[in-house]
Amino acid sequence: MNKRLSRQAFSFLLILLLLAPAPGLAADYLVIVHPTNPRSSLTLEELGKIFLKRILKWDTEIAIVPVDQVRTARVRILFTRIVHRKPDSALNSYWQQQIFSGRAVPPAEKADDDEVLAFVSAEPGAIGYVTPGASIKGVKVLRIR
């Protein structure tokens, strides 16, 4: 009886794991853009390159303007871990090199979801991220694949 129960428990846990959302898919953050942006999705790799300023223009040739949340924001910590797969200290080193070489500066930081939403809704090339519970009025949510 115990063996049968443990097999059922194992099967149940396995099913739950298979049905769980993948990291970075709407469970941790929402990626938002200006409502006129024609894109409906990005790959995780594209998203990372955009926030490292390695991809500079949208398909429409409009300059991409990424906006981060402050370093201490929980949503930024999750975003950094999932999208960049590096600790914040590695990103700081990356940006120090970019600044020192004159290549780029890091994305602007906003204090919270409301500031990111206001920025993205006002800037046609903007892209940002917010917590899943944020009001997304005036912006478009991109699917991350």
Compare 89 and 6 and report the one with higher pLDDT: 89
Q: Is residue 8 part of a domain?
A: no
In whole numbers, what is the pLDDT of the chain averaged over residues? 87
Q: What pLDDT sits at residue 63?
A: 98
What pLDDT, on a 0 to 100 scale, did the predictor assign at position 12?
Answer: 52
Per-residue model confidence (pLDDT) at position 27: 74
Q: Exposed, middle or buried: residue 97 (CB in 10 Å: 0-12, 13-18, 19+)?
A: exposed
3 state DSSP class of 85: coil
Residue 122 pLDDT greater than 90, yes or no: yes
Confidence of residue 93 (pLDDT cuts 50, 70, 90): very high
The encoded tokens of residue 102 equal 């004159």
In a domain, 2, yes or no: no
Tokens of 89: 């200290």
4 belongs to a structural domain: no
Check whether 67 has a pLDDT greater than 70: yes
Residue 13 lies in a domain: no
In a domain, 14, yes or no: no
pLDDT band at 88 (very low <50, low <70, confident <90, very high): confident
Predicted confidence (pLDDT) per residue in 13-65, tens digit: 444 444 444 444 447 999 999 999 999 999 999 999 999 999 999 999 999 99
The CATH number given to whatever domain includes residue 86 is: 3.40.190.10
Q: Whole domain around residue 137: which residue ranges?
A: 22-144
Look at residue 132 and tell me if it is in a domain: yes
The label of the residue with tokens 């975003």 reads 79
pLDDT at 124 over 90: yes
Domain count, the chain: 1
Which tops the pLDDT comparison, 11 or 67? 67
Residue 12 belongs to a domain: no
